[in-house]
A and B are shown apart, each in its own frame.
Chain A
Amino acid sequence: RKEVEQDPGPFNVPEGATVAFNCTYSNSASQSFFWYRQDCRKEPKLLMSVYSSGNEDGRFTAQLNRASQYISLLIRDSKLSDSATYLCVVSGNNAGNMLTFGGGTRLMVKP
């Protein structure tokens, strides 16, 4: 079983739609959680950290459920520029700064 699992998609949605991605992680000792965005042939970029209390950044809302070991990302009012691969990332399973990446979920927003 992978440490961090995501539905690879692709999710094809029209502009303006609301879309949600889910992610599960296997190591209950994980301490920090993130969503990264990766555009084709580019490096990943941090989208937002994820906290147990849930957090929102504009159109993006992230939630963490430690009991279920589940992380979600909600994107409201999708824009064409939101098209990318969204990576669920977990850290804190070990000493140091190591990040464990999920396989990514591909989002395509269409006009």
Chain B
Amino acid sequence: GAVVSQHPSWVICKSGTSVKIECRSLDFQATTMFWYRQFPKQSLMLMATSNEGSKATYEQGVEKDKFLINHASLTLSTLTVTSAHPEDSSFYICSAALGRDTQYFGPGTRLTVL
């Protein structure tokens, strides 16, 4: 199947710093990518839909100024968590769409904010 990578796989940072997470589709082009967040023992919650060449669409309750999304090419979307706080500690997972209903997930990035 198609491959999606994420980098870094885990990151620990101090409160107040910004963290950038990259999501790449390695063997296909993805016009649309999605960013999810998963807290312990909870399911994936969609944060935003990232569209190549246009602004991301954020879900209700997700601050666009805090979670900056850039989808500059058909194979790369980035999520930047600005001024991270301990409550932002979570598992961040991206996916890339291939066709209408198929999404391929990246391996996730575990963020810990101290």
Q: Which positions in A face B, CB cutoff 8 Å? A: 32, 34, 41-46, 49, 87, 91-92, 96-104
Return 11 A-B CB contacts under 8 Å, by A number.
A32-B101, A34-B101, A41-B110, A43-B108, A45-B105, A96-B100, A97-B34, A97-B102, A98-B46, A99-B103, A100-B46
- In addition to A32-B101, A41-B110, A96-B32, 12 A-B residue pairs with Cβ atoms within 8 Å of each other are A34-B101, A43-B107, A44-B44, A44-B105, A45-B105, A87-B44, A97-B101, A97-B102, A98-B34, A98-B49, A99-B95, A104-B43
Within 8 A of A (CB), among B78-110: 91, 93, 95, 97, 99-103, 105-108, 110
State the CA gap A102–B42 with chains docked (Å). Answer: 9
Partner of B93, one of A43, A49, A100, A104: A43
> Which residues does chain A contribute within 8 Å of B95, judged by CB atoms?
99
Contact B43 A43, beta carbon cutoff 8 Å: no
> What's the tally of chain B residues with a CB closer than 8 Å to chain A?
22
Closest CB of chain B to A100's CB: distance in Å?
8
Closest CB of chain A to B55's CB: distance in Å?
15
State the CA gap A6–B102 with chains docked (Å). Answer: 22
Contact B105 A101, beta carbon cutoff 8 Å: no
**Interface residues of B: mostly helix, strand, loop or mixed?**
strand
> Which residues does chain B contribute within 8 Å of A102, judged by CB atoms?
43
Contact B46 A103, beta carbon cutoff 8 Å: no
State the CA gap A49–B100 with chains docked (Å). Answer: 13
* A103 (CB) vs chain B CBs: closest residue: B43
Contact A101 B103, beta carbon cutoff 8 Å: no
Closest CB of chain A to B96's CB: distance in Å?
10
Closest CB of chain B to A47's CB: distance in Å?
13
